[in-house]
Structure 1
Amino acid sequence: MDIVRYLSQSEVKAHLKLEKAPSEGTARKWPKRMEFRYGTGKNGMYIDGHEREDISEKPEPVQKGEGASIMVSDFCSPDLGWLQSKNGETEARILFKAGKSRDGYFSCEDLCQQIELAIEPFEDHFPGTAIAAFGFDNAPGHQKWADDALSARYMPKYPKKWTGKKGIRMRNGILPNGQQQEFYYPDNHPEFGGCFKGMKKILEERGLTREANLNAECDKFKCPDPNAACCCRQVLFNQPDFIAQKPAIVELIESHGHIAFFYPKFHCELNFIEQCWGYAKFQYRMLPWTKKEAEMEKNIWESLDKVDTEKMRR
């Protein structure tokens, strides 16, 4: 019926030189003859027809480009355009020369630093009068937790000299009564000075004495039921404060009194900034090839600035 409705439009019939739209029966036959089938896509893969037997030439991987490249990261708004202060002296845009021997690789830490830059010009436009809603692609790097975030994944069961990521101590948890729960013994403790308490002790302090005597984790942490109290690790994973753990960029933005959200996975077309990038890339491709990075940076900047607020709104 979608096919029938689409082909019933006067402009479509005129374009395809159709006297009338096909019947529903004919529309049902078309997908079958074109070898379309109803079903669930597997692994999120996009199939473009190259795998068909009647396509003899096999696709070859092509490099993204030759020579050096420059990465751009920026924030845009249909209200403010590319984010910058009122006087234009402070802006959120950064150019990043990705590569092992260059600026390295754009990490969550780099994004957090840029977010700090972005919040300042927004608050310059709306000093204490508006809340910003920062939207991000649902990429793994954007979901990264802070180095001291709550996670039971590698916790030892018993007291041990242990820290989380990068040798940083894990932050305090929250007990059922709302009080802070310290995960480390004080340095002057007679037996375990400065040690991590371990999952057993943490669970006991939460009143979960039976769960504290479970095994540290199920075989290879493949629990039969993610909601079951089958091992110490799974019990902690299901504790309210562990469940409430947010990505680092969300914690940062909320600490400034603003909001952060993520677009649905694999739906970049819902994010209008993708169209902004596309238009900027179109402008860049119209320019002559560059041989110097300084010239490349200048062209990138000018191409992005051609995406004005009106185009962002459209």
Structure 2
Amino acid sequence: MLWKWTIDFCKDPANLPTAKYGKSNVSILEDEDLAADIHLHLQTLEFQARLKVKKKISLRTAQRWMKRMEYRWRAEPKRQHSDGHEREDVALENMTRWWKSDGTKDGDVKEHVFAAGPDVGRVVVIWHHDKSIFYAHDRWKLRWVHKSETAKPYAKGEGASMMVADLVSPDYGWLVGRTHDADSGKLKATQTLFRPGKNRDGYQTTDDILDQVTAAMNILDKDYPNDKRIFAYDNATIHTARPAKALSA
């Protein structure tokens, strides 16, 4: 259709495709972006009437006011994190490296807690499992976000999706080995690309997760033998599946 509309427009600049609002059973107000614009416009009129403001404020004044009201112009929040690293029963912070905001080290490991055995002086490196899904027509949504706002579930974008899964740490970045793969000649890595869908790559399973973490362990055993490592996964059902032959409670 895009191709056809483009050709029609080249032949006649007045021939533009029209929206089919009014020809379906769905109200135009069901469009969340349009409804939000109308709501914002009505709030503006109400604000001007209540304060008897006849002259519009400048853009810079509006931006300054928004910041004072603790709003920030940023990408729409898409993830929810639970901050639990300061609990008393979590002792990993004394075993890990610390970094400053500019990327330089903030001193060395705070305390070597491994006093005996093969782990003497070994630093704990936490590898976080990172999974991102990209959609063909998705785009970043920039707007004013209040500091108290948290991420909310949202519908996926139009078009086919692509999932990228990898392991990352603040110490080494993305997990990449220091030796080359014999077949490809490239450095061994743990990044996986997955095209979800019934007629594509299917759907990611626990076996896919296990294959990836096994590859990660092989790389770490060979290329990072001096680190003590921990794999961190979010609380998703695909990460907590039982063995295939295990009984279900």
Q: Identify whether the pair has TM-score above 0.5, normalized to the shorter chain.
A: no
Q: Which structure: larger Rg?
A: 1
Question: The TM-score by the shorter chain falls in which range?
Answer: 0.3 to 0.5
More helix by share: 1
More strand by share: 2
